[in-house]
C-alpha cells in the first residue's frame, strides 16, 4: 500500500537497517536498486562492476533507469497493486544524487527519465540515512565483497552525494525523513519503524 525507500551514501548502515525492518515488517516486500529482478540484477552487475573502459555518465544513468523500468514492471507495481508495503534499498533519489549531482549530469536528465519510466509513481516516504562520508568510507573499507565502481569514487564525490540527498530532503520535507546514521543501529531502526508506521 505504501512505497518506502531507504537512501544514503556508502557505509551509512542501509543493510543493517533493512535487516531490522525485515524482522519488523514481516509481510512487506523487500527489494533493492539497481536490481530487484533477475534481469535488473544483471544490469546492476554490468553497471557497477569495475572495468578498464571508462563509463560515460549518460550510460551509467540510462542503465540505472533500464534496471528501474524492469524492477517497476515486474516487482514494485505488482506488489503495490496488491496492497503490499514495498521497502526498497535505494531508488530514484540515488540517480539524482549520484548521476545528477556527483557526476554532474544535472537534474533535468534525471527528471526526464523519472517521468518516462515512472509516470506519476513516487515513493510515499524516502528515509535518508545521513553520515559523514569519511565515517562511511571507514565502515566499508573491510567489506568482503570489495568496492564497486561507485564505492571507489573520491571523498569529494561522496560529499556531493551527501549534500544532494540533504538538499532533496529540504526541498520535499513532506516525503523525506532524515536520520542521523551516526546513532546506534537500534536507535536508527526504532526511528525508521516509527515513521513507516505513521504512514498508514
Q: For the chain, what's the residue count? A: 200
Compute the least distance from the CB of residue 198 to ligand TMP, in Å.
25
Compute the least distance from the CB of residue 81 to ligand TMP, in Å.
22
The site for ligand TMP (CB under 6 A) is made up of: 32-34, 48, 64, 90, 94-95, 98-99, 150-151
Nearer to ligand TMP, 27 or 142 (CB): 142
The DSSP call for residue 139 is H
Q: How far is CA 195 from CA 91, 165, 174, 184, 199, in A?
A: 18, 18, 12, 17, 7
Nearer to ligand TMP, 70 or 99 (CB): 99
Nearer to ligand TMP, 104 or 198 (CB): 104
- Asked, as a colleague might, if the bond just before 199 is cis with ω within 30 of 0, I would say no
Compute the least distance from the CB of residue 199 to ligand TMP, in Å.
22
Residues 6+ apart with CB under 8 A from 176: 125, 126, 127, 128, 168, 169
Compute the least distance from the CB of residue 92 to ligand TMP, in Å.
6
Residue pair 32/89 in contact (Cβ under 8 Å)? The answer is yes
Nearer to ligand TMP, 55 or 182 (CB): 55
Compute the least distance from the CB of residue 43 to ligand TMP, in Å.
11
Q: How far is CA 185 from CA 25, 36, 134, 143, 174, in A?
A: 17, 24, 18, 18, 24
Nearer to ligand TMP, 130 or 151 (CB): 151
Amino acid at each position: 500500500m505504501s512505497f518506502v525507500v531507504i537512501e544514503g551514501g556508502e557505509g551509512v548502515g542501509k543493510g543493517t537497517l533493512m535487516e531490522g525492518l525485515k524482522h519488523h515488517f514481516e509481510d512487506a516486500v523487500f527489494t533493492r536498486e539497481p536490481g530487484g529482478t533477475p534481469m535488473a540484477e544483471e544490469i546492476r552487475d554490468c553497471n557497477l562492476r569495475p572495468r578498464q573502459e571508462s563509463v560515460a555518465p549518460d550510460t551509467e544513468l540510462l542503465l540505472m533507469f533500464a534496471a528501474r523500468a524492469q524492477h517497476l514492471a515486474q516487482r514494485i507495481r505488482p506488489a503495490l497493486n496488491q496492497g503490499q508495503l514495498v521497502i526498497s534499498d535505494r531508488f530514484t533519489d540515488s540517480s539524482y544524487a549520484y548521476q545528477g549531482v556527483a557526476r554532474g549530469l544535472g537534474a533535468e536528465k534525471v527528471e526526464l527519465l523519472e517521468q518516462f519510466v515512472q509516470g506519476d509513481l513516487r515513493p510515499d516516504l524516502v528515509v535518508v540515512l545521513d553520515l559523514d562520508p569519511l565515517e562511511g568510507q571507514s565502515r566499508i573499507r573491510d567489506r568482503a565483497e570489495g568496492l564497486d565502481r561507485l564505492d571507489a569514487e573520491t571523498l569529494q564525490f561522496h560529499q556531493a552525494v551527501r549534500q544532494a540527498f540533504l538538499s532533496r530532503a529540504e526541498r520535499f520535507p513532506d516525503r523525506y525523513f532524515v536520520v542521523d546514521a551516526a546513532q546506534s543501529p537500534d536507535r536508527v531502526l526504532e526511528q525508521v519503524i516509527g515513521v513507516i508506521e505513521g504512514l498508514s
